Structure 1
Amino acid sequence: MKIAVFSDVHANLPALKSVYAHIEKQQPDAIYCLGDWVNQNIWNNEVVDFMQEHKIPSVLGNHDEGIGNNLSKFPFSYGSREEIDWGMDAIQFTLKQLTEERKAILRALPLNIKLKITTGNNERTLLFAHGTPKSNAERIYRFYKQTELSKMLDDEAADVLFIGNTHASFHKQIERVINGEKTYQHIINPGSVGSPKDGSWHACYAMIEIDTGKDIKYEPDALQVYFYRLDYDIDTVIKGIKNSSLHIYYAVRLLKY
């Protein structure tokens, strides 16, 4: 079984098209998005239309929720006072650009999605969220304590948790011993399509391959994760931002990482 997962498009249509074309070639059984379709780039309407046209299941990102509800202020990441100001300006840009019909589409996205699959003759649960299962504004980083992450999955009765929001890809496999038997949980962040923050501007997504003949809870090699970094027409993106009212910061930061 193959599942493609991507996140944090942030209105970067050229990057999204590159990722989707690559995913199609892999012929996965399913595709999921972890939210943040919009904001901080110029193709807000087009990205919503693309997601709708291709019928990609998605959860609600914090930017999707804020823009969808016409909020002029909502939580987002920043590193300086200037980035707060530029972020607030980007929100206003997106609110004006995005149509009310498309905002309604964003509002309708669920906070999380649960997918039950059979592996090794047992039913296991995959959970898709943007930040954490209960909040799209919180962030899970690779260095979080395993005990905290395990509790998060246990609370949701999930075996695999997919999250985005940090724009940094990772796969964390948690090994535990329960009743004398080793068990495994997985936390997977596919990185960001439209605005990575993990060392490269290239669009990133994850392909998960599950050997359904094995039980992902008890066999560590039953689930494999492959991260892909893809080229796209970044020159068009930078020129598009420069010719818009968005701050040039949103073009420069693509090249920063």
Structure 2
Amino acid sequence: MKLAVISDIHGNLLALQAVLADIARQGVDQTVNLGDILSGPLQVAETADLLMAQAFPTIRGNHERQLLALLGQAPDQLDAFTSDGYAATQLSPVHAAWLTSLPVSMALNDEVWLCHGTPGSDLQYWLETVVPGFEQGQGPGVRAASASEVAERLGDSVTQPVVLCGHTHVPRVSQCQGSHGTVLVVNPGSVGLQAYGDAHPWPHVVENGAPHARYALLQSDSAGWQVSLRAVPYDHMAQSRMAARNHRPDWAHALATGFMPGRI
């Protein structure tokens, strides 16, 4: 079985198109989507249309949950200068119905489980850990999770030996020992956004350091699961200019460089 894994597209249509073109050359059996699909200042409706036509197995991310909550508000209550608020102004009822239909997690088969953050939360970082110190100049405020942290966040509910997650935008592979045996945890990274800042539980930044669109390929054979973390070039400067036109200089810088403003 050969599987392509995409996540955290954030409405970046050009990055998604480049990744899907690369996937088409890999001879995969299936492509899955781990959520955070539309939020951001880019091509929200167009991205939704493309993915709806593909009909990939797809789960919600935290931004789908947040976006659906906003869609119940009156248009004049939406803040179009936020990522979810802008996306809410772009979506049709058909798009909203599609998002509503998506599960929060799912078993792809007996081997593979899909979640966005961790099996228990769409907001929890799994393979990274946020630490204090960013505001004091002590690094980015996030580090790779320890083996014990990865195992603890797995929980007891998942029995599949491979778990796919997204949310942090960082491509990473980790193996841990769960209550049901050894588990391979794979984060494919983000298709659409290679740097961002957040304030929870402490201020921090996530930076991949290059603007390439990211995804993962997994292949199962007699030796086990082989994982390839791929970085695909695309016209990231066109997307950076679009973010700037839509009043998001932070996104413009992240899309152009893979770093947050002030970091390079």
Aligned twin of 1:238 = 240
Aligned twin of 2:158 = 156
Q: What SS does the corresponding residue of 1:22 show, helix, strand or coil?
A: helix
- The TM-score, its normalising length taken from structure 2, stands at 0.78
Aligned twin of 2:51 = 51
For residue 98 of structure 2, the aligned residue among 95, 105, 109 is 105
Distance 1:237 1:138 in 2: 28
Aligned length: 225
Aligned alpha-carbon RMSD (Å):
2.4
Structure 1, unaligned stretches of length 5 or more?
74-85, 117-123, 215-220
Aligned twin of 1:14 = 14
1:126 and 1:161 in contact (8 A); partners too:
yes
Alpha-carbon shift at residue 88 of structure 1 (Å): 6.2
Aligned twin of 1:79 = none
Q: Which moved more, 1:223-232 or 1:130-139?
A: 130-139
Counterparts in 2 of 1:156 and 1:177: CA distance versus 1, 3 Å = closer
Aligned twin of 1:192 = 190
Distance 1:174 1:54 in 2: 33
- 2:37 matches 1:37: yes
1:40 and 1:87 in contact (8 A); partners too:
no
- Please tell me the residue identity of whatever aligns with 1:222: G
Aligned twin of 1:96 = 89
Aligned twin of 2:2 = 2
- The TM-score, its normalising length taken from structure 1, stands at 0.80
Per-residue CA deviation, residues 153-210 of structure 1 (Å, 9 max, x unaligned), is 64311211100000000111236899xxxx6320100000000232221000000010
Counterparts in 2 of 1:137 and 1:72: CA distance versus 1, 3 Å = farther
1:153 and 1:159 in contact (8 A); partners too:
no
Q: What SS does the corresponding residue of 1:223 show, helix, strand or coil?
A: strand
- 2:249 matches 1:251: no
Q: Which moved more, 1:192-201 or 1:24-33?
A: 192-201
For residue 116 of structure 2, the aligned residue among 130, 135, 157 is 130
Alpha-carbon shift at residue 136 of structure 1 (Å): 1.2
